[in-house]
Structure 1
Amino acid sequence: MKRRTAREKAVQCLFQIDMAEVPLKEAVSMVMEDSDEDTQFLYYLLEGVMEHQSEIDNEIKKYLRGWQLERIANVDRAILRLAFFEIMFDQNTPDKVVMNEAIEIAKLFSDEQSHRYINGVLSSFLQSRKTAQA
């Protein structure tokens, strides 16, 4: 499975887990058309987001500008959680790649304004990280 596909499926799973409290394995089985596909990266993403969700959510909240995490669209919340997980905990994927993937997934799954909002939140987060590292 391509990494982009794994990210798309991860967002779908995170959405189901968040909305309907579906167990992880059940959420994965619902989004997988081909059970023979390699799901290693998908499970890595999902387990990582779930393991670090409180840290991720606390970090996201710092950059929402007038919004509460609970009030943003569920799919946007899933996209942000996934992107923040990769930026915060996965050193293998460049931040710009994570940001571009999140924006493209938002264009695919969310409304036409969401990708701009996600871009703004991620840009602010990455800028603050860059400033902190300097």
Structure 2
Amino acid sequence: MKRRTAREKAVQCLFQIDMADVTLEDAIALVMEDSEEDSQYMRWLVEQTLKNLPQIDEEIKKYLRGWQLERIANVDRAILRLAFFEMMFEEGIPDKVVVNEAIEIAKLFSDEQSHRYINGVLSSFLQTRQTTQS
């Protein structure tokens, strides 16, 4: 499975877990359905995002500008959670790649304004991080 596909399916799993309160195994089974592809990377993304969810959500909340995490669209929340996981905990993935992937996934799964909002939240996080690291 390509990394883009793994990210798309990871967002779908995170969305289902968040919305329908399904188990990780059920979410993966639903997303993978009849696929024969290797879901190991996608599973790892979901597991690690869920494992670090309290830290991820706290960080996301700092950049929402007038919104509450619980009030943004569920699919946007899933996209942000995955992107923040990758930027906060995965050193081997360039931030630009994470942002681009999040924007493309938002274009695929969310409304036409969401990709701009997601880009703004992720860009604010990166600007703050660069400022504090300098």
Structure 2 residues without counterparts, runs of 5 or longer: none
Amino acid at match of 1:103: I
Question: Which runs of structure 2 are paired with 1:24-103 in the superposition (5 Å)?
Answer: 24-103=24-103
Q: What residue in structure 1 maps to residue 23 of structure 2?
A: 23
Aligned residues: 134
Question: Following the alignment from structure 1 to structure 2, what is the Cα–Cα distance between the partners of residues 91 and 38?
Answer: 23
Structure 1 residues without counterparts, runs of 5 or longer: none
Question: Following the alignment from structure 1 to structure 2, what is the Cα–Cα distance between the partners of residues 79 and 41?
Answer: 16
2:129 is the alignment partner of 1:129: yes
TM normalised by structure 1 equals 0.98
TM normalised by structure 2 equals 0.98
Runs of 4+ in 1 over 2 A off after TM superposition: 33-36
Amino acid at match of 2:97: V
Question: Following the alignment from structure 1 to structure 2, what is the Cα–Cα distance between the partners of residues 130 and 65?
Answer: 19
| TM-superposed deviation, 1:87 | 0.3
- Describe the SS at the equivalent of 1:12: helix
| TM-superposed deviation, 1:90 | 0.6
| TM-superposed deviation, 1:34 | 4.1
Question: Following the alignment from structure 2 to structure 1, what is the Cα–Cα distance between the partners of residues 44 and 131?
Answer: 29
Q: What residue in structure 2 maps to residue 105 of structure 1?
A: 105
Q: Percent identity?
A: 75
| TM-superposed deviation, 1:35 | 4.0
Amino acid at match of 1:64: L
| TM-superposed deviation, 1:33 | 3.9
| TM-superposed deviation, 1:105 | 0.2
